[in-house]
Structure formats: structure tokens, C-alpha cells
């Protein structure tokens, strides 16, 4: 009889332990891991802006979330801009129109989708500006840069940057 009661108690304890572990494991959930992104030449964008040759570096990042399939978020963070001249002394704010291009043609022609972000930065590191791009699920590529012409070739801008090419996997 002792062996039978021992077996019943052991089975009951194992059932309670299994239920507790399973219950704790399924109720706790961590944040989903970010998707894979890579920038062959680095994620920083050296930039000359539109106010008296203001210059500085803008950090770029592409974030993906498994809870939002087909959508990627582009984040731009200015590290701080510096300038010379009377225009900078009067207004120490550097304006940069950043152009995002994604879903490019096979030859890299700008036939895909385009979005512009107006970025204002001072001498101190600035706030991160985020925007969503709808790429669709799967591998994607984007080019981030400040060009001296608008994407629609209707405006000339006194700015330039080294573009950032990034590749990422969108859930």
C-alpha cells in the first residue's frame, strides 16, 4: 500500500509542477526580436544641410516588428549639427530633407516608392524621427540620403549627404 500511495503522490506532484511550469511559461512573453538589417557601408549618414553649410552626422536604422507584417520603420537620429556664417549665428538650426527610396528596380533605378522626411537639428543631439514604410513581406532594400534635388526633380536644394544603402527582412 505504501508504494501505491507514494506513486499517487509523486504523480500528483509531477502534475502540479508541470501545470505550474507550463502556466508560467505561457503567460510570460518577451518582446519580439527585431528583424535582420544590414548596411554594407555603415548606418551613419554624413550630411551638409541647408543653413550656411551646416554639417553633421545622422544615424539611420530600420526596425521591423513581427506583429506588423509588411511594414518597416525607418529611424533617423541627428547627432548634432554645426555651421559657420551669419545665418548659422542667427539661427543655429540645420534643415535637411531626407529622401527614402525603397522597392527599387532590379538595376537600382528610382522606380520604387519615395518618401521625404523634413529633419531639423541643432547643435545638441536631436530627437529620433521615425516613419513607416510599407515594403511588403520578405527581403527589402532602401536608400536613405539627402540629395541636392527633389525626388520629382522640381526643386534644387543646397544640401548633400553620403547615402546609406540598407537591406532588411520584413516579416
* Count, residues in the chain: 171
User: Domain containing 165 — which CATH number?
Assistant: 2.60.40
Mark whether 122 and 165 lie in a shared domain.
yes
What does each C-alpha distance from 81 to 55, 96, 97 come to in angstroms?
A: 5, 11, 14
Please tell me the predicted confidence (pLDDT) of residue 40: 78
The model's pTM: 0.74
As a whole number of angstroms, the distance between CA 69 and CA 138 comes to: 9
CA angle 109, 36, 29 (to 5 degrees): 140
Please tell me the predicted confidence (pLDDT) of residue 2: 72
Mark whether 7 and 61 lie in a shared domain.
no
User: How many structural domains compose the chain?
Assistant: 2
**pLDDT single digits (tens) 110-152:** 557 889 999 999 999 999 999 999 988 889 889 999 988 887 7
Mark whether 149 and 69 lie in a shared domain.
yes
Please tell me the predicted confidence (pLDDT) of residue 88: 92
Mark whether 57 and 129 lie in a shared domain.
yes
Mark whether 7 and 81 lie in a shared domain.
no
Domain coverage including residue 1: 1-30
Mark whether 25 and 50 lie in a shared domain.
no
Mark whether 59 and 10 lie in a shared domain.
no
**pLDDT single digits (tens) 27-60:** 545 555 556 677 878 899 999 999 988 999 999 9
Q: Beta partners for 142?
A: 102, 166
- The secondary structure element, H or E, covering residue 4 is helix 2-27
- Rounded to the nearest angstrom, the gap between the alpha carbon of residue 144 and the centroid of all alpha carbons in its chain is 11
Strands (E), 65-128: 71-82, 94-102, 113-121
Please give the grid coordinates belonging to residue 136: 511588403
Amino acid at each position: 500500500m505504501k508504494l501505491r500511495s507514494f506513486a499517487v503522490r509523486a504523480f500528483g506532484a509531477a502534475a502540479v509542477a508541470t501545470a505550474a511550469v507550463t502556466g508560467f511559461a505561457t503567460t510570460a512573453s518577451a518582446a519580439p526580436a527585431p528583424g535582420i538589417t544590414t548596411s554594407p557601408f555603415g548606418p551613419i549618414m554624413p550630411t551638409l544641410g541647408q543653413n550656411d553649410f551646416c554639417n553633421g552626422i545622422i544615424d539611420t536604422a530600420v526596425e521591423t516588428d513581427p506583429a506588423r507584417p509588411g511594414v518597416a520603420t525607418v529611424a533617423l537620429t541627428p547627432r548634432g549639427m554645426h555651421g559657420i556664417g551669419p545665418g548659422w549665428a542667427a539661427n543655429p538650426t540645420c534643415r535637411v530633407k531626407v529622401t527614402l527610396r525603397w522597392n527599387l528596380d532590379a538595376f537600382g533605378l528610382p522606380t520604387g516608392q519615395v518618401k521625404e522626411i523634413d529633419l531639423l537639428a541643432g547643435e545638441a543631439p536631436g530627437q529620433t524621427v521615425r516613419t513607416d514604410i510599407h515594403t511588403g513581406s520578405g527581403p527589402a532594400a532602401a536608400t536613405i540620403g539627402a540629395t541636392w534635388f527633389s525626388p520629382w526633380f522640381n526643386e534644387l536644394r543646397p544640401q548633400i549627404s553620403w547615402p546609406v544603402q540598407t537591406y532588411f527582412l520584413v516579416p
